[in-house]
Structure 1
Amino acid sequence: MGSLKNQDLKDRVHAWMFDAALPFWGSIGIDHKYGGYVEQLTPDGRVADVEFKRVRVIGRQIYVFSHAYQMGWKPGLELAEHGFNFLTKHAWQGPENGWARTLSKDGAILDGTADLYDNAFALFALSWFQRVSGRHDAKNWASKTMTFVDQHMRHENGIGFLHWSPASGLRQQNPHMHLLEACLASYEAEPNEQAAVLAKEVAGLFEKKFFDLKTRTLAEFFDEDFKRAQAPDGEIIEPGHQFEWAWILVNLKRLLGIALSDPVRALIGFGEEFGVDQRTFATYDSVWVNGRARSTTSRTWPNTERIKAAVALSELDGIDPSGVFAQSIGYLFDNHLNAKPFGTWIDQVDEVGAPISDKIPTSTLYHVFLAFAEFLRHENGRT
């Protein structure tokens, strides 16, 4: 990876977003026959013949097009509305069941499981669409989503929320993280007590249950009481989530005044020390709690989260993020975003950068777009 100046990075990122990715996904990525968005592409960029649409993907694409509109890309509002209409017409199962997990191509419910992850991304999408459209119905849908989570997805022991209902398997932090992200998006769209209360609750779970300041690690899997699961599950650490939480927590401070500064520094510190290949600058998919690499493969998304964490640390402590920007953006373009058609990605590579993906998941655009938007916001000095 060659050294790139900040202006070169800005030009390259802006061109990828607005000249390649958005036009591509705003055309090929739209399901004009049935509504909503395509779920995935084949490795050569054709629409994959799959029989399902995940609600989380619909939510992520509504977000992308809403944010793109906010950044001046005019087609974004109509494309976000296209997803909003499909989502609200087909995926809501009522106030006691919330948003479905999976739909058929034409919108029939395939899996009606109430999944916290999918409900969080529905809330995230609705909040962003409310923010850019000003539509009161989007605000009402967001409130109904939070009410459903608050009233019907709480764990019976009173500690946190179900990752899905009825629950099975180990408990997880990741859906809670996205719930916090979504609540903050709702609060930023329009300050409201409902979002603030939920956000504060999840932040408390992070501080008391998910994160261990001594080891600087965020666990992925837990027992029923939110104690770290027995090895090996409880020792799995994902650097991408360490970075992602750090960025969300800095937004928590900005919006609600709750400062978890030492955990932010610790999350990023561990991720930088153990989660990044210092030769290639790839962010690993996972490591062990002792810092030893568990998987030296690298998906697109952990590398984007490192960019957001660098923005967060700059805003928290004034630490210059330019080194991380050059490393991670350069790595992404060299190994993930060099896919054809341009504007798509190679979802996962091995330790030498060889592709190991069998599809192009639409869900990844959320990660890349948000990270690049944060990079541009930082570089352009916008608040």
Structure 2
Amino acid sequence: MFEKHVTQVRNWMFDQALPLWGDVGIDRVHGGYTERLKADGTPDDPGFKRIRVIGRQIYVFSHAFCLGWKPGLALAEHGFHFLVKHAWLGEVGGWARRVTTDGQLMDPTPDLYDNAFALFALAWFHRASGRQDVLSWALKTVEFIEAHMRHPNGIGFMHEKPAVGPRQQNPHMHLLEAALAWLDTQPHPRFETLARKVVTLFETKLFDQANGRLPEYFDEDMVPLNNSSGRITEPGHQLEWAWILGNANRLLAIDTRATTRALIMSAEANGVDPISFATYNQVRNDGLVLDKGSRTWPNTERIKAHIAAYEIFGTDPRGAIGQSLDLLFSNHLNTHLQGTWVDAYDSDWNPCQGPIPTSTLYHVFLAFAEILRVSQLLESNA
């Protein structure tokens, strides 16, 4: 059965998704990538391009090239040229948040999330291309984040500058993911220092050790908000952190096993539907389900978390992987336009209609690549 799932995953990646997004997903007029598609597969231009999406697509095509899909390198380079030409605002500006369709500056706000995905994209493009100039861009990015995005009180980083609204865990998660991607590509002390800072922040401030859950929103001192928003947790983010901390365990030689286990256990206990195995959108910190709807991405993060558990604890991930793949292929990825997705289902399991967001491909591709990475070892242990 698992071999069937692996074949299904490989076919979706290389026969459906990559040919589609390597075609209509490329903006060959203005550069970069399309932000989203209409249901018929034609570009749906909202008038802007987000830097986080550019970064995610550079990652996808770079990783695809590393897996043997030869068109990937040129497609990743296409996005890299657009990124450095239109989105870098210098040493005090970092990467912009968004530009217009044709690359004009639209929102110069320094956003930690977008800068993290630029850093992540650079790691993978460097891995695919071997270009040393990409490393210099990455080091400039880290320098900007350290110099201009660190919170004034010294606890973590601002999610944007100037910061508006509560502080968030999510941008820190992707910053750690990006730093670890570089350590796995070309180790450098700047990336290691950054990664260790974020892991320490997670262990001392972000993670609620008492109930094994991860709040989403915090006050200025990184204490969970003292209101209903401060009680919100997202199972998908807990599972995503579990996978990232699994990489930290390997690359930084630090023991994240207890935290990884707690994140997965609490997400599985209250954040996964016991019948459909859909990963819920939101759960309160006492386990009460707040939103039984399910987007595509939390289900892909469940796959990655169980692969991390397999590599750390030796637990067989095939049951959970199979459950999430069956859900994805029966619902989210079961579209008339192969290689796309229904991005979200509501709490009554009705599909939420709308444009197809390019940003989701990063989640699906990365989870599926992880399945391919461990598949031979799993099959040999069957």
Query: Is 1:44 equivalent to 2:59 in the alignment?
Result: no
Q: Note if contact 1:307-1:371 (Cα within 8 Å) is conserved in structure 2.
A: yes
Q: Note if contact 2:35-2:45 (Cα within 8 Å) is conserved in structure 1.
A: no
CA separation in 2, counterparts of 1:256 and 1:125? 21
CA separation in 2, counterparts of 1:220 and 1:332? 25
Q: 2:361 aligns with which of 358, 365, 368?
A: 365
1:68-102 per-residue CA deviation (whole Å, 9 max, x = no partner) reads 00000000000000000000010000011100000
Q: Which residue of the partner structure matches residue 143 of structure 1?
A: 139
- Find the residue that maps to 1:366 and give its secondary structure: helix
1:294-348 per-residue CA deviation (whole Å, 9 max, x = no partner) reads 1011000000000000000001100000110110011000110011210000000
Query: Is 1:86 equivalent to 2:82 in the alignment?
Result: yes
Query: Is 1:110 equivalent to 2:109 in the alignment?
Result: no
Query: Is 1:73 equivalent to 2:59 in the alignment?
Result: no
Shift of 1:43: 3.1
Q: Which residue of the partner structure matches residue 331 of structure 1?
A: 327
1:175-199 per-residue CA deviation (whole Å, 9 max, x = no partner) reads 0000000000111110100000000
Q: Which residue of the partner structure matches residue 266 of structure 2?
A: 270
Shift of 1:111: 0.1
Q: 2:312 aligns with which of 313, 316, 320?
A: 316
Q: 1:160 aligns with which of 156, 159, 163?
A: 156
- Find the residue that maps to 1:103 and give its secondary structure: strand
Query: Is 1:250 equivalent to 2:250 in the alignment?
Result: no
Name stretches of at least 5 consecutive residues in structure 1 with no aligned partner. none
1:13-57 per-residue CA deviation (whole Å, 9 max, x = no partner) reads 000000000000000100000000000112333211310000000
Q: Note if contact 1:62-1:129 (Cα within 8 Å) is conserved in structure 2.
A: yes
Using structure 1 for the length normalisation, give the TM-score: 0.97
Q: Which residue of the partner structure matches residue 300 of structure 1?
A: 296
Q: 2:183 aligns with which of 178, 187, 202?
A: 187
Shift of 1:214: 1.6
- Of all paired residues, the percent bearing the same amino acid is 56
Using structure 2 for the length normalisation, give the TM-score: 0.98
Shift of 1:352: 4.6
CA separation in 1, counterparts of 2:93 and 2:337? 39
Q: 2:29 aligns with which of 22, 30, 33?
A: 33
CA separation in 2, counterparts of 1:334 and 1:292? 27
- Find the residue that maps to 2:184 and give its secondary structure: helix
Q: Note if contact 1:45-1:340 (Cα within 8 Å) is conserved in structure 2.
A: no
Q: Which residue of the partner structure matches residue 16 of structure 2?
A: 20
State the Cα RMSD in Å: 0.9
CA separation in 2, counterparts of 1:57 and 1:176? 17
Q: Note if contact 1:335-1:353 (Cα within 8 Å) is conserved in structure 2.
A: no
Q: Note if contact 2:34-2:45 (Cα within 8 Å) is conserved in structure 1.
A: no
Q: How many matched pairs?
A: 378
Q: Note if contact 1:250-1:259 (Cα within 8 Å) is conserved in structure 2.
A: no
CA separation in 1, counterparts of 2:355 and 2:283? 24
Q: Which residue of the partner structure matches residue 198 of structure 1?
A: 194
CA separation in 2, counterparts of 1:380 and 1:35? 38
CA separation in 2, counterparts of 1:112 and 1:219? 28
Tell me which moved more, 182-191 or 365-374.
182-191
Q: 1:169 aligns with which of 165, 177, 183?
A: 165
- Find the residue that maps to 1:287 and give its secondary structure: strand
1:144 partner letter: K
1:217-267 per-residue CA deviation (whole Å, 9 max, x = no partner) reads 001000000000112111000000000000000100111101111110000
- Find the residue that maps to 1:53 and give its secondary structure: strand
CA separation in 2, counterparts of 1:315 and 1:90? 40
Shift of 1:143: 0.6
Query: Is 1:291 equivalent to 2:268 in the alignment?
Result: no
Shift of 1:351: 3.7
2:189 partner letter: E
1:299 partner letter: R
Q: Note if contact 2:281-2:292 (Cα within 8 Å) is conserved in structure 1.
A: yes
**Pairwise mapping of residues 124-135 of structure 1 onto structure 2 (< 5 A)?**
124-135=120-131
1:90-145 per-residue CA deviation (whole Å, 9 max, x = no partner) reads 00000111000001011011000000000000000001101111101111101100
Name stretches of at least 5 consecutive residues in structure 2 with no aligned partner. none
- Find the residue that maps to 2:151 and give its secondary structure: coil
Shift of 1:354: 2.1
